[in-house]
Structure 1
Amino acid sequence: MLSLATLMASERELAHGDGATYRRLLTEDALVVVPGMVLDVEACARAMDASPPWERADFADAALVPMGAAAAAVVYTFEGVRSGTTYRAVLSSTYVLRDGVPRLALHQQTPVT
């Protein structure tokens, strides 16, 4: 079963990762829904390679939504600072086990204004 600690560790790795991190941790058919667009794995990886790193990234109020033995979602609030701009959002990520390894299949962000 997928645990909250395991999935949040993956979320932290992705937040601080580059395109290679996304290619490694996402399923081959994953989708990432961000404000104004839906990205496939390669588009998301390219966007991460082009983005400056987060200067600060905070994760709060994480909750696990079990979906059986091989899938689960995490929902949490995120606040990050990048290039002097603060981004706040509620995020959800759905993971599936592939060959015993949790892989991100669907990620969605809702900005908090």
Structure 2
Amino acid sequence: MSRLKQADIDELLSAWEETYKKGQLTLWIFLALKEGEKYVDEIRTFVVERSKATMRCEEQSLYRVLRKFEHVDIVSHVLRKGNKGPDRKYYRLTPLGVSLFSRFVDRNINLFFQPDIKKILLS
């Protein structure tokens, strides 16, 4: 058994999770947009709710990532009237974005559904 105290183990887990989460925002944005067209606040809400609050993101981070995705034609937006104030940008995956996401899932996510890996995860 490890000589680490529970607080040390918790700290290691937190550090690992923070590193893991830095690379996860793109996946969560794609999941949100795969479900359907959304504006930034809806994307943020999707990420927090569907990740059971293990993932959080700020609006500025989302806008930065979405601009980058638009630049490479993975995401596009349309302007629509909001409830009040200026028009809102509603984002959606482009056909290229849908294809890219599908290929990513096939190559990286579906691995976790293989019986041998699933057995390890659930044991």
* Higher RCO (CA-CA < 8 Å; seq separation 6+): 1
> Do Structure 1 and Structure 2 share a fold, with TM-score over 0.5?
no
The structure with the largest strand share of the pair is 1
What is the TM-score when the length of structure 1 is the normalising length? 0.28
Rg larger in 1 or in 2? 2
The structure with the largest helix share of the pair is 2
